[in-house]
Structure 1
Amino acid sequence: MTARAIWKGRILLGPHEVPVKMYSAVEDQAVHFKLLSRQGQAPVHQRIVRKDTGTEVPREEQRKAFPIDGDRAVILQPDELESLVPPASREIHLCRFVPAGLLADPWFDRPYWLGPDEDADQPYFALARAVARQQVHGIARWVMRKKRYLGALLASGDHLALVTLRRSEQVLAMPAIEPARSRAPSEAELKLAMQLVESISGEFEPQAWPNEHRERLRALVAAKAQGDKVKPFKPRERASGTDLADALRASLAAHRERRVA
């Protein structure tokens, strides 16, 4: 099945243009619920009401306001908010390239795949290979769905990806974390820890770690739909206060047993 593009545009790189199509890289897999009344199981819905009188306020009478101090707020009219919407554009502006390791994980927000548009694939693949070979990320700006975005253009295999970036005011610096109050780990403990890390090292296989909460939830729904009695799930309790070396040895032994089995 051919993927469906959610947006089309062109990457501007100096005097050159690279036509691209944008595709979703992630999708919502959350389990969604309906709200029903406890008695009668009738669907319920929310209403916007005045806090002082409880009377319903229709959509055309609702206004957004920004609190400034105390009970005061600045009311913004719909046309005022509309004037802040950026003009529609299909251009992805590449501002600069930075070393790939310069952007830490907290900066990355939502990923998208970029593919070549129509028959203009030669400049697309040339750009993808250049970004991969030089190990850089392109800092990009664009407008999509009435909103300005800041993002990172990066190579993914032979193709390109565009990941939206959080703004500087959203990313927090590493807090001043207190140093360890207990003694430093001994060489023997460090060696055990390194053995444990090595013993469970391998390839990243995302299918091996499914969403357990979603699976249990769906199993619960299926069981109740069939009229089965369901026992509450109780997580296994872990022992606390164990010596570090003993805990490492136990973890290493348990992992070896799993590998043998």
Structure 2
Amino acid sequence: MTSTPPIGRWNDKVVLVTGGSGGLGRSIARAFVQAGADVVITARGAEALERTADELRAEGGRVTPIAADITRDDDVERLFATIREHCGRLDVLVNNAGLSTRSRVIDTTPDDFRGLVELNLLALVRCTRAAYPLISQQRGHIVNIGSLAGKVGSRYMGAYPASKHAVTAYTQQLRLELADEGIHVMLVCPGPIARTDGGTRYVKEAEDLPDVASKPGGGAKVRQLDPDRLAAKIVRGCERRNAELVLPPRARLLFAIGQLSARAGDWLVRRFT
């Protein structure tokens, strides 16, 4: 059964979600569709994109899938040229695409770091730079999906925390530099997000590591987040032009203690992972 998207502040706005074919990206796309926006989703897999687009269209959404590898300059240029041609505007960029891994950081090679930084950071930078001319015209929104691991260096997650710490710093720089242009920049730092494969996703990578390494969030002792609820909070965060969204909120206390005392912060990370 289809439904007509509501008329409101997001009506006729255009939102791009990277990594939009599944998981949190699909939930974010759905949340903006339900709010009335036109949504463009991108990911590498064309078939998965089409399935997600069909699913959201069946719910009444206006969705455009564009397959692209955002680690490639030419694909990003093509993606944004298509958005300019077919949409004529872009109001929200959600940099959601990313990847997590499992390994001891001492065993993580420079090539491992390069691979993860390419997707988790440089693809985000690439898309943000390409989106900027369109976003600035609308005084729009840039949303970067970080992680709790972008605030603390959790164990056994290889290059992931370093790549997400870089996202945290980059987002703050953007927020400070673009504020006078009226562009809203928000960092989202979620804990582990519920997935159908959450219990098995890292089993092979973590087979030689302590048991906690294979668990969601590296064994973080917090309730897994419902992706649809998180997506709804992201939409509200854009509406309120929040600077940062941290879930669960009590994680802010861990961040603060770690800044005041590295020893106490390390103890808390060990205690809650």
Class of the TM-score when normalised by the shorter of the 2 chains: under 0.3
TM-score with structure 2 length normalisation?
0.22
Larger gyration radius, structure 1 or structure 2: 1
